[in-house]
Every structure is written in structure tokens, then in C-alpha cells.
Amino acid sequence: QQFIRARRWGREGLQVWKNTGKTNYIEVDKAENMEQLRVDMFNSFWNGLRGEIQLEDNSLAKAMGGIYPLMQAANSAEGFTTLANFEDTFKTLAFATNYKSEGGVRFIYGTDEMLHNFARIFKLPQVRFEPNQEMTNLNLSSITLGTMQFVLVPCELWREESCFPADWQRRIIVLDQETVKPCKLKGLPAFEAGDTLDMKPMGTLNDYKDWWVRSQLSLEFNNPLASFIMNIQ
């Protein structure tokens, strides 16, 4: 899938900002453009629907399949649970999808709120305080369960409803990343950026300049059955 973001500046407006020199607004604007492109890629990586999209000029563009739709299409294990049954559901799904070698690592993705449930279950009962302690760390970064290893990865962007449906706020995806391979079209760079010519000498008739960033991304998901989904109700 191709991704592109661009900013257009009129020739005079751009020169005004350069002349004032009071802020670094132009650099900040470029950085924001790049950040928006990365958000687009993040959204498609997780929830993109594979297929073709018809553009305004009636041309067709390819769309990549994201992790969640590909897992559903492959019938990856998926559980629906309450917080009361959170631990039992996680353990059941973890053992049922344990196709990795001993000590193999899988990654648990979710919002901070959802990941905190792992600390609540596996850590808080063992937390002890001394009389003079005033601070404690209630976070949990990894879990060992039998011969399995899990690393927790916060995904706070799942909270943003302009990017993901509301049910993503209460979803956990446990991913075997060794089975996921990013891929692109051979011969074109994964990322590129630049700007267009304006009306400067040896330029064009356009009285503006476009700054653009462009990327491409798709996925090969070789074994979705080694990953699983939990939906907390």
C-alpha cells in the first residue's frame, strides 16, 4: 500500500515565514507531516483491509491487510472475557497457541489500561512495602508462563477513535512477531521525502511549493495461528 502526506505553501506566504525567522514553524510543520504519515501506516498495519480502493480520478490503489483482519481471516484464536475471568482466558489462549520453541517470545499489545490488568493479576499480590517506603512501581514489562515468554507493549493510539473503532480500547493482541514480515515493492524506497518546484528561475508556473513524504508497506503473515486476540467486555 502506498501512503503519502503533503503540505502546500504559497510562494509569498512561505517567504514571509522565512523572513520573520522568529519561530521554527516550517520545520515543525514538516515533522508533523511525517508524524501523520506514520499514524496512517500504524492504522493500516493493525486494521487495514486488503483489497483495492477507487480514487477520485477513478484509478485503483492497492490496500494492505492489517494484523487484526488477517488474524480473523485465518481463524486465529479469539476470546471474549470479563475482568473476572481475565487470567484464566489469557492462560488458556496462551497455551493453546504455543507453537514456538521453548523460551520463544511473543508480544502483548494493548492500551495502558488493558495492560495494567497483567500487573494487577501477576504482580500486585506479591507487592510488599517497608515502613519507610513512599514510592512503588506497579507496572509490569514481561511475563514468564511455563516455558513461554511475553513482553508487554503499550499502544495508546488504539484509544483514538478517529483511527480505531471504540472496541479497540478494550482489546489485547498477542503477536508472534517472528511470523510477521514487512514487505514492499522492490526497486522503490520504503520512505522518501522531497518538495516540488515553484516559480523560481528554472522552476514551474506554480506559485506554490508542495512538501511531501511518501512510503509503502505491506505484510506477510506466515502463521497467524501462533497469535491470539482477547476482547475484554
DSSP output for 123-151: TGGG----TT---------EEEETTEEEE
Q: Please give the span between the terminal C-alpha atoms of the chain, in angstroms, as a whole number.
A: 33
Position 129, amino acid: F
* pTM score: 0.84
Structure-block grid coordinates of residue 25: 514553524
pLDDT at 219: 92
pLDDT at 139: 64
pLDDT at 144: 86
Phi first, then psi: what are they for 182, rounded to 5°? -65, 145
Chain segment 2-23, per-residue pLDDT in tens: 999 998 888 787 788 778 877 7
Cα gap 119→57, rounded to integer Å: 51
112 versus 199: the higher-pLDDT residue is 112
17 versus 164: the higher-pLDDT residue is 164
Chain segment 82-132, per-residue pLDDT in tens: 999 999 999 999 999 998 877 789 999 999 999 988 888 876 666 565 566
- Residues 43-66 as b or e (16 or more Cβ within 10 Å = b): bbbbbbebeeeeeeeeeeeebbbb
Structure-block grid coordinates of residue 221: 503473515
pLDDT at 92: 95
Tell me the helix, strand and coil percentages in the chain, rounded to 5: 35, 30, 35
Find how far residue 120's CA is from the centre of its chain. Answer: 25
Mean pLDDT of the chain: 88
Q: Which of 79-83, 134-138, 209-213, 220-224 has the lowest mean pLDDT?
A: 134-138
